[in-house]
Amino acid sequence: MIIRSVELETVCGITSTLPENRHPEFAFAGKSNVGKSSLINALMNRKSLARTSAQPGKTQTINFYHINDALYYVDLPGYGYAKASVEVKAKWGKMIERYLHKSSMLRCIFLLIDIRHEPSGNDKLMYDWIVANGYYPVIIATKLDKLKRSQVQKHVKMVREGLGVGKEGTVIPFSAETRQGREEIWELIERIAAEEENL
C-alpha cells in the first residue's frame, strides 16, 4: 500500500471519550519495549510519528492514526511495565478493555511478542484476554533481525506454543531494521479493509 497521508487524529487518556470512527480500525498491543512504535512507524513509512523511547511504558494513551483517509492504526498502551504502579497498570487495563468493548470499527488486533523469548505470563494473559473479548489476534513476532535465520522456525513454534495459538492462527515474524514482514502485515490489513468496503 502506498501511504499518501498519515494523521495522529485522536489521543485518548484514561477519562477520554473514545472516538466514533467511520473507517476500520487495526489495533496494536504488546508489552513495553517490544517494538510497537517501531512497527507502527515502519507500516506508516514514517521515521518517528509513533514515539519510540529507550524508556519503556511511554505510550500511556490510546493513539488513533488516520491512514490515507481510509483506516486507522490504534496504538494501545504497553503492558507489563515493571516500574508502573499497580494503580496505573489497572487504569491502563481498564482503558484497553473499554476500547475493546466499545469500538464498533475494530477489525483486527495485532499482538506483538518478542521472537527471542518465550511469551511471558503477561503476554499469555493478554492473548487470552483478547480472545475472551471475541477477537483472534494476529501475532507479530518482533526483533526478527536479532536471530540467525536457522533459528526462526524454532522460535516461531516457541511463540505459538507459549501462547496456545492453534494452527489456524497467524504468526508473522517482523524486523523493524530490515522491514521483513512489513508487506505481509500490509497485505492482511488491505484484505480486511477491502472486505469492509464490499459489505
The amino acid that residue 57 corresponds to is: G
pLDDT at 45: 87
Length of the chain: 199
For the cut 70, the answer to whether the pLDDT of residue 2 exceeds it is: yes
Instruction: Please state which of the ranges 8-22, 28-42, 76-90 shows the lowest mean pLDDT.
Output: 76-90
CA-based nearest residue to 93, from 82, 79, 103, 108: 79
Q: CA geometry: angle at 62 spanning 51 and 56, to 5°?
A: 45
28 and 36 Cβ atoms separated by less than 8 Å: yes
Tell how strand 106-114 and strand 25-30 pair up. parallel
For the cut 70, the answer to whether the pLDDT of residue 140 exceeds it is: yes
**Per-residue pLDDT tens over the stretch 157-177:** 999 999 999 888 999 999 999
Instruction: Give percent helix, percent strand, percent coil of the chain, each to the nearest 5.
Output: 35, 20, 40
The Cα-based distances of 184 to 26, 39, 160, 187, 191 in angstroms read 15, 13, 18, 5, 11
CA-based nearest residue to 30, from 113, 135, 149: 113
Q: Quote the cell numbers at residue 165.
A: 495459538
Contacts of 173 (CB under 8 A, 6+ apart): 115, 141, 144, 152, 156, 180, 181
Q: pTM higher than 0.85 for the full model?
A: yes
**Per-residue pLDDT tens over the stretch 182-192:** 999 999 999 99
**What average pLDDT does the segment 140-153 reach?**
97
40 and 54 Cβ atoms separated by less than 8 Å: no
How far is 111 from 11, CA to CA, in rounded Å?
20
For the cut 70, the answer to whether the pLDDT of residue 59 exceeds it is: no
